[in-house]
């Protein structure tokens, strides 16, 4: 799977597409599994679908040759993914007011951020940057799982 940077944005073979999409699903599953075990609403399937969908949007622009015509196409696709995923993340965030005080508590920010990262990993892997994607997935998992142990109860 070694490619020069210029080759990454050229249409890929079917085996390369399968690898990219499979890896996108796998990294989404890693993040989603952590969210699922933490009993968060957006869990395994959501993160897998977000990562897969992001990779497919990017691959569509690459496979159709649109990126070869203008690199701006890829930039616009990525911007669209980011904007679209913002709506999904916003649905994950809500606030509650405690009945014993006027204090507003915001919940779901980490889950929204995890959805956002899943989308970015799908974009990165869809572009063929699988090393960056797997590293990013690992770091994300460590943040979600490991850093949680240091947060106050």
Asked if the structure places residue 34 within a domain, the reply is: yes
For the segment 78-100, the average pLDDT, to the nearest whole number, is: 83
Q: Which residues contact 130 (CB under 8 A, 6 or more apart)?
A: 1, 19, 20, 23
* First-to-final CA distance of the chain: 44
Give the three-class secondary structure for 106. Answer: strand
26: pLDDT strictly greater than 70: yes
Asked if the structure places residue 28 within a domain, the reply is: yes
Residue 94 confidence class, pLDDT cut points 50, 70, 90: confident
Residue 137 lies in domain: 9-147
What is the C-alpha to C-alpha distance for residues 29 and 133, in angstroms, rounded to an integer?
13
Per-residue pLDDT at 99: 65
**Six token digits for residue 46:** 């959501």
Q: Mind spelling out the 3-state secondary structure of 48-103?
A: HHHHHHHHHHHHHHHHCCHHHHCCHHHHHHHHHHHHHHHHHHHHHCEEEECCCCCC
Stated pTM of the model: 0.88
Asked if the structure places residue 3 within a domain, the reply is: no
Residue 6 confidence class, pLDDT cut points 50, 70, 90: low
- What domain count does the chain have? 1
Give the three-class secondary structure for 153. Answer: coil
Contact criterion met (CB below 8 Å) for 72 and 140: no
Asked if the structure places residue 26 within a domain, the reply is: yes
Asked if the structure places residue 1 within a domain, the reply is: no
Q: Please count the other Cβ atoms lying within 10 Å of the Cβ belonging to residue 40.
A: 19
């Amino acid at each position: 799977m070694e490619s020069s940077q210029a080759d990454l944005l050229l249409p890929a073979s079917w085996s390369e597409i399968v690898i990219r999409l499979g890896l996108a699903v796998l990294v989404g599953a890693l993040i989603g599994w952590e969210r699922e075990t933490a009993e968060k609403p957006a869990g395994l399937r959501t993160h897998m679908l977000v990562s897969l969908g992001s990779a497919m949007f990017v691959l569509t622009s690459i496979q159709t040759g649109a990126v070869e015509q203008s690199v701006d196409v890829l930039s616009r696709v990525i911007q669209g993914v980011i904007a679209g995923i913002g709506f999904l993340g916003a649905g994950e965030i809500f606030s509650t007011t405690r009945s014993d005080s006027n204090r507003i508590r915001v919940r779901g920010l980490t889950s929204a951020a995890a959805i956002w990262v899943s989308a970015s990993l799908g974009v990165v892997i869809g572009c063929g940057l699988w090393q960056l994607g797997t590293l990013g997935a690992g770091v994300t998992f460590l943040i979600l799982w490991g850093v949680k142990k240091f947060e106050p109860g």
